[in-house]
Structure 1
């Protein structure tokens, strides 16, 4: 491992740790150089998207998870997270599509719960 690769890896791990400590803005700051060095690395984009979502930078989260899906159209987590970003922007129909895809690809309880929430919100809005 070269020194540049090692420092990039260390910065990525540091950003992961900061996000785990619920410090998404600090995680994004630590991740900045990694994003520059590895703009097409799916794992880097996912971590940035998670930090954007956690810091309520919803449009940035949306754009980042869309980028992840460009890099890997089969990434069910990116579909789920994109759905959550859209949901938080009250774009329920778009969120529904992403969450349905995520559940179809991987029926994890967290995904199913999010899909149920969207379906319920849409039903309530239609009944008004």
Structure 2
């Protein structure tokens, strides 16, 4: 992240050491010397010194951030990501920690995680061009890798909806609403009793004719009974 290319020829170690091999000075001196080593392009030596400082002061954000930068420049991407993640989890509003987490994840091939945290960093600090550049690069890499297995699906990191897709979806929804059958097309409930009334009207005359025949037979039979009595 600082552009360091490793330990320079001729060697650059932790500096003066005590009899037991520990660097001289206190934690603050280790931190300052580690930063100078990192700025001078010696990330491996800086990592050793800053790791000692971080072990002595595990809650120091400045020391942990410097250590993560040194680890990244030294190629220790997994260790760098762990330290950037620890800072971001302790303070989610730290845009640089989100950025470091994202680029370290990209170096490890975890582009989904990278896009997530780079996008957070850009949202927090949109004016940072190197944040935006890293996010564009990671999204392009993710899209290119996904393209080998077919187009990205909606919801996938890096997916962009095709232009005009929302308009086509709106037209489809409108057409579907038009095709729904109207409530007035349903058979009226009053049509069914009409058939019952018609059947009742048809059946009633038959019963009346039968009753008339019975009455006529009774009238015919009655005089015969009177003649017999006479």
Aligned: 1:124 with 2:144: yes
Deviation at 1:43, TM superposition (A): 0.6
TM-score under structure 1 length normalisation: 0.90
SS in 2 for 1:39: coil
Moved more, 34-43 or 94-103: 34-43
- In the alignment, the residues of structure 2 paired with residue 59 and residue 18 of structure 1 have an alpha-carbon distance, to the nearest angstrom, of 21
Give the corresponding residue for 1:60.
79
Is there any run of 5+ residues in structure 1 with no aligned partner, and where?
Answer: 1-5
Question: Between Structure 1 and Structure 2, whose CA radius of gyration is higher?
Answer: 2
Candidates 46, 50, 61, aligned match of 2:69? 50
Deviation at 1:35, TM superposition (A): 1.0
Aligned residues: 123
1 or 2 for the larger relative contact order (CA 8 Å, sep ≥6)?
1
**Structure ranking higher in helix proportion:** 1
Aligned-pair RMSD on alpha carbons? 1.2
Is there any run of 5+ residues in structure 2 with no aligned partner, and where?
Answer: 1-24, 149-230
Runs (4 or more) in structure 1 with deviation over 4 Å come to none
SS in 1 for 2:116: helix
Give the corresponding residue for 1:3.
none
Contact conserved, 1:40 with 1:71, CA < 8 A, in 2?
no
Aligned: 1:115 with 2:135: yes
Change (3 A) 1:29 1:123: same
